[in-house]
Structure 1
Amino acid sequence: MANIFEKLFAMKAMIMNQNIPELAEQFDKPLFIWIRRDPIFNIQSALEARKRQYGDINTWYSFKIKEYPHLKDLDPLESVAGQIAAINRSVEQGIAALPEHKKLVVQYEDFCQRPEYYYNEITRRLVEQGGVRAEQVPEYSGEVSFSNTNRWRLEEYSQGDAERVYEAVTTGKE
C-alpha cells in the first residue's frame, strides 16, 4: 500500500510479530515502533479480552502464534503468560536485528506520560529517513498525557499469581 499510494502507512502488526525481519525487507523506509508494556498487565489485558470476547478466560484470544499448540490447553494464566512471553521474545529478537534508524522501542508507561515527546521522536525519524518532509509534519495537538491502565482488576488470579507464572515461563522454572 505504501508503494502504490506513495504515502506513509501504519499498522498494528500483531500477525507479523514473529516475522519482523521479513516484514522489514518489504519496505524501503520502515520504522518499527514497539510499545512495550509491563508484561503482567499485558497478561491481564489478554485474559480480560478472552472474557470480553468469549464470556470466559479459557478460550484462546488473538492470533495463533507458533507456540499455540503447546499453550492452548494450559491453565488460562499459564497459557496467556506463555503467549505474552513468546510474543515479547519474538518482537525483541526481530527488533534487535534491525538497524537503529529503523526502530523505536517505547515503554508504554512513559508514552502515557510524554506522548508529545514520542510524536516528535517518530516524526523526526520519519523526516531523517526521507519518508516525509519536515514542513508536512503538523505540530503536536494531542493530549498532554494519558492515564495508563496498569491496575490489577482480575478476580480469577492475583497480580502475584501473574508475576510468579510469568517469571516461571520466562526463566523455564515451571
Structure 2
Amino acid sequence: MGRRSIETLVPLLSTPRSTKSLINVYRVLRARLEIPGLDEPSVDEFLARREFGPVLLLLALQIGEPVLAHVLAQHLAPGGLDASADELDVLAKRLSEAQDDKLRSLSSLLSTLRGRRLLGASLLPFRAWIPRVRRFSFEPWVESLPAELPPSGPGAGEPRRLWSESGPSMHG
C-alpha cells in the first residue's frame, strides 16, 4: 500500500482521524492474511493479485461514505443492479449516468483508480472482499446486505456461505 494509493482515497475521508482509521483497519485486515489456517489468501497472493486496491476502496467507502459502501455492495450483490457485470468499467459507466451526485463522483473515483492502476478491470475482487471488509464495520448498512456470497472470486465453486456467517463482528 503506497502513499499515492491513500492520497487518491482522501476525498472519501473527511478527517485525519478517518484517514488514520483506514490505515489501521487495513493493517489489521492485512495482518489476518499472515495467520495460517484462516480461509484467507496469503499476503503474497493478496499483493500479487493486486487485491489491495479494491480492499482500500471498500474500507475508505465504509469509513468515509457508508451509504456509498452500501450502494456499491447492493449493485454488486446477487440480484443487484450490476450483479451480472464483471467489468469495473461497466459499473463505472452505469454510475456515471446516475442522477445522484455522489454516485457520479464514485464513478469518477473508480475511473481514476483504474487509470492509476490501483484497480484492475474485474469486479471479482470487490465481490470476494465485501464480506471480509464488512467485518470491520460499525455501520448499519452491513445488516441490509444480501445473505449469499457471489459465486465468483476466490473460493468460486466451493459451497456457498452466507455473508452473515462471516458476520460483521470485529472478531471474524
Q: TM-score, normalised by structure 2?
A: 0.27
Structure of greater relative contact order (alpha carbons < 8 Å, 6+ residues apart):
1
Which structure shows the bigger proportion of residues in strand conformation? 1
More helix by share: 2
**What is the TM-score when the length of structure 1 is the normalising length?**
0.26
Larger Rg over CA atoms: 1
